[in-house]
Amino acid sequence: MSLPITAPVAFDAVRATCAAQRDWSRAALAKLQQEAARSADTHLLRVDLPGFPGIAFYFKDEAAHPTGSLKHRLARSLFLYALCNGRLHEGQTVVDASSGSTAISEAWFARLLGLPFVAVMPACTAPRKIADVEALGGTCDLVDDPADVHARAAWHAARGACHLDQFGLAERATDWRGNNNIAESIIEQMAREPDPEPTWIVCGAGTGGTSATIGRYLRYRGLRTRLCVAEPAGSGFVHGWHTRDPQARASRPTLIEGIGRPRVESGFIFDVVDQVIEVDDADSIAAAWRLEELFGRRYGGSSGTNLVACLQLAASMRARGERGSIVSLLCDRGERYEQTLFDRDWLRARGVDPMPARARIAQCMASGNWP
């Protein structure tokens, strides 16, 4: 007898909950749009090196975002994607697997939306990054084996958390045709330069989101610019790109955070990448030091990896008598690595001596030859 009375009541309750969720979702979307409107674009810094007359280098300063890395763009896109797919709700915990930069940006956006945030990280992540996530109100769930982060994030998701899933979704959460994505921004900022159509754009591969966005955009705009992925030697991306094998694994570990994944991530779009350059950690670290001398501030290891690849590409262009421009990224702030990549004792304990690489890089910048 109670059925005809309770059924409509329950239905109204569901409808009211849905309406409340849509209200929250609308307010959350407005907050993200306000944040985007308050943000400025990042600088494209030009560098001319004595060894490379006729070749201009440009570095997009992604460390200038409020959360200090290119992951600011990604985190904004991932929150928007989760919201617009209807899978992020008021009060819900947000989780992701991250080597640090993404976690910092996601913690920042979670705080903006008033949501609890859990970062699943390898225990070996730079202590400064862990402190940064915690300072933003996030919680760090540290796992001993870096290969376990995905499973651990899935474990949280199975308990009701919203998994932002940077590795699964980076490549599709970004609007590849425009909306001021990183590629569109670079091409716009190059418009008044002597060689506005870069010969090369160089980036690394963590989620693969940046390389996918740039590679697609270059094709979409019909540009001749080629895309080079600069990666730690022997990374999952390196092996996967050469063999087009989604099961490929890294053949050695790396000290460079943010890139050099141990496996092929689902967001790696190999077909838009024209060349891969492998860089030894000592070269990447020495190049990161060198960036401090060039720009007067510190950038992280993956920015150093990019610089080494830029120099190698420029040396080949110079050898062929070509002129033009090369664009790359300064991916994150170097302060995060004060106790690691910028600490000589820390490096010595890991058997890394960046001094020979430092001399090699200085010589290349002066002579235009990569030894």
Ligand X SMILES: *Cc1c(COP(=O)(O)O)cnc(C)c1O
Q: Which stretch binds ligand X (CB under 6 A): 28-36, 53-61, 64-72, 112-120?
A: 64-72
> Would you count residue 248 as binding ligand X (CB under 6 A)?
no
Q: Whole-number minimum distance, CB 49 to ligand X, in Å?
A: 22
The reply to whether 309 sits near ligand X by the rule CB under 6 A is: no
Query: Of 65, 71, 163, 290, which one interacts with ligand X (CB under 6 A)?
Result: 71
Q: Is 174 in the site for ligand X (CB under 6 A)?
A: no
Which residue in 41, 51, 67, 47 sits closest to 59, CA to CA?
47
> Applying CB under 6 A, does 328 fall inside the site for ligand X?
no
User: Judged by CB, which is closer to ligand X: 110, or 203?
Assistant: 203
Closest to ligand X by CB, 205 vs 250, is 205
**Which of 153, 158, 265, 251 shows the shortest CA–CA distance to 205?**
265
Tally Cβ neighbours within 10 Å of residue 367: 15
Phi first, then psi: what are they for 229, rounded to 5°? -100, 120
User: Does the protein bind ligand X through residue 181 (CB under 6 A)?
Assistant: no
Q: Give yes or no for residue 240 binding ligand X (CB under 6 A).
A: no
Distances (CA, A) of 250 to 101, 284, 285: 21, 17, 20
Q: In Å, how far are 10, 22, 29, 319 from 15, measured between CA atoms?
A: 9, 11, 21, 69
Minimum gap (Å) between residue 231 Cβ and ligand X? 10
Q: Does 119 bind ligand X (CB under 6 A)?
A: no
What one-character DSSP code corresponds to residue 299? B
Please state the closest distance from residue 243 (CB atom) to ligand X, in A. 20
Under the binding rule (CB under 6 A), the answer on residue 300 touching ligand X is: yes
Binding mask 198-217 for ligand X (x = CB under 6 A): ------xxxxxxxx------
Taking CB under 6 A as the criterion, which residues in 75-114 touch ligand X? 101
Cα(82)–Cα(62) distance, integer angstroms: 23
Q: Nearer Cβ to ligand X, position 57 or 265?
A: 265
Question: Considering the complex, what minimum distance in angstroms separates the CB of residue 211 from ligand X?
Answer: 6
Verify binding: residue 138, ligand X, rule CB under 6 A: no
CA-wise closest residue to 226 among 205, 211, 207: 211
- Cβ atoms of 228 and 277 within 8 Å: the answer is yes
- Decide if residue 333 touches ligand X (CB under 6 A): no
Q: H helices of the chain, where?
A: 3-38, 71-84, 101-113, 127-135, 149-158, 166-173, 182-189, 209-220, 236-243, 281-295, 301-319, 344-349, 355-367
Three-state helix/strand/coil letters over 85-138: CCCCCCCCCEEEECCCHHHHHHHHHHHHHCCCEEEEEECCCCHHHHHHHHHCCC
User: Binding residue for ligand X (CB under 6 A) from 51, 215, 236, 258?
Assistant: 258
Question: 118 forms bridges with which residues in the sheet?
Answer: 95, 139
Closest residue to ligand X in the complex (CB): 258
**Among 65-73, 77-85, 186-194, 318-326, the segment contacting ligand X (CB under 6 A):** 65-73
> How many residues of this chain bind ligand X (CB under 6 A)?
19
Q: Is 69 in the site for ligand X (CB under 6 A)?
A: yes
Nearer residue to ligand X within complex by CB, 78 or 313: 78
Contacting residues toward ligand X, per CB under 6 A? 69-71, 101, 170, 204-211, 258-259, 300, 302, 331-332
